[in-house]
A = this chain, B = another copy of it.
Amino acid sequence: MKTILKSKTKKVEISTDGPFTIIGEKINPTGRKKLAAALQEGNLDYVRDLAKKQIEAGADVLDVNVGMAGTDDVDYLPAIVKMLAEEFDIPLCLDSPNPKALAAALPLVQGRALVNSVNGEEKSLAAVLPIVKEYGTAVIGLTIGEGGISNDPQKRLAAAGKIIERAAQIGIPLEDIIIDPLVMTVGADSSAGLVTLTTIELVRKEFGVNINLGASNVSFGLPERDVINQAFLALAISAGATCAITDPIKYTLAIRAIDLLRGRDSYGMRYLKYYRAHAQEKTA
């Protein structure tokens, strides 16, 4: 199964058979005061810098989230998307639950974007899927049903099924839907990791679709978060995850190692190339 995203001249395939796809998470003001301030001042240089650094670090796609408390992201998303589409040749993931912001920003994308996200609630399905269809994008479907987030993997699977079915009804094909099994922190509930891993396996076996993770949530509130996040990436990829919204600066080398260990990097070329390009940073 392949989900195709495009920028001005480049094509990215998120694939169940290929190497793992990295969606850079850092253009997101949550917990980044400097970015929030820059966005509110209309200063795009900080976003430019985050885009550049993530691309250099191995991001295949850039997530763009400009949601800030007390603001409406329709006021920020179009300008940021326009700048990124003009200045960088990498597909974008428009991260907003707000249909107005999506509809205002999608015409400014050059290529084929990923919309993040729809979920299994009627309100979200009715608002977001028509926009996805109109602009011919791919979409991330969060496994949330009418009852909210369930701890039962079967209920998360059912939410995925509902999204896939409703998308099919308006002509959005299976390959354009990437299911997100939801990742909660094991710091609050020590069964949370297992619930996500089980959901990934169920979704993979039932639908065979691409599967995304917001991988860094899992360690929230715990010490040595990088150790946990890195372990979780490997476990989730083993279960069937094919892309993640994550930090390419911290985790690309580990992801290259995982691809190599799973036989998805002939002669270790990608691992070694990445290591050589970034080795001096570690010793510097």
A-to-B contact residues, CB < 8 Å: 186-187, 190-191, 193-195, 197, 218, 222-224, 227-228, 230-232, 234-235, 237-239, 253-254, 257-258, 260-263, 265-268, 271-272, 275, 279
User: A253 contacts B266, CB within 8 Å?
Assistant: no
User: B261 contacts A228, CB within 8 Å?
Assistant: yes
Given A224-B257, A231-B261, A232-B261, output 12 extra A-B contacts at Cβ < 8 Å: A190-B260, A193-B260, A193-B262, A194-B262, A197-B262, A223-B275, A224-B253, A231-B254, A234-B235, A234-B238, A235-B262, A238-B238
- Write the nearest CB–CB distance from A264 to chain B, whole angstroms: 8
Kindly identify which residue among B197, B253, B261 contacts A235, using a CB–CB cutoff of 8 Å: B261
What is the chain B residue whose CB lies nearest that of A279?
A: B223
User: B223 contacts A190, CB within 8 Å?
Assistant: no
Query: How far, in angstroms, from A238 to B231 measured CA to CA in the complex?
Result: 10
Kindly identify which residue among B230, B263, B266 contacts A193, using a CB–CB cutoff of 8 Å: B263
User: B190 contacts A222, CB within 8 Å?
Assistant: no
| A232: chain B residues within 8 A (beta carbon) | 257, 261
User: B261 contacts A218, CB within 8 Å?
Assistant: yes
List the 8 closest pairs (A to B, CB-CB), nearest first.
Answer: A194-B263, A234-B234, A193-B261, A238-B238, A231-B257, A228-B257, A191-B263, A231-B234
| A222: chain B residues within 8 A (beta carbon) | 268, 271-272
| A279: chain B residues within 8 A (beta carbon) | 223
User: A268 contacts B186, CB within 8 Å?
Assistant: yes
| A254: chain B residues within 8 A (beta carbon) | 227, 230-231
| A261: chain B residues within 8 A (beta carbon) | 186, 193-194, 197, 218, 228, 231-232, 235
* A193, A232, A239, A260, most chain B CB atoms within 10 A: A260
Query: How far, in angstroms, from A275 to B187 measured CA to CA in the complex?
Result: 14
Query: How far, in angstroms, from A257 to B266 measured CA to CA in the complex?
Result: 29
User: B197 contacts A275, CB within 8 Å?
Assistant: no
- Write the nearest CB–CB distance from A259 to chain B, whole angstroms: 9
Query: How far, in angstroms, from A257 to B187 measured CA to CA in the complex?
Result: 11
Given contacts A235-B234, A238-B239, A271-B222, contact A228 B260 (CB under 8 A): yes
| A224: chain B residues within 8 A (beta carbon) | 253, 257, 275
| A187: chain B residues within 8 A (beta carbon) | 268
* A237, A257, A258, A272, most chain B CB atoms within 10 A: A257
- Write the nearest CB–CB distance from A266 to chain B, whole angstroms: 6
| A272: chain B residues within 8 A (beta carbon) | 222-223
Query: How far, in angstroms, from A194 to B268 measured CA to CA in the complex?
Result: 13
- Write the nearest CB–CB distance from A192 to chain B, whole angstroms: 8
| A230: chain B residues within 8 A (beta carbon) | 230-231, 234, 254
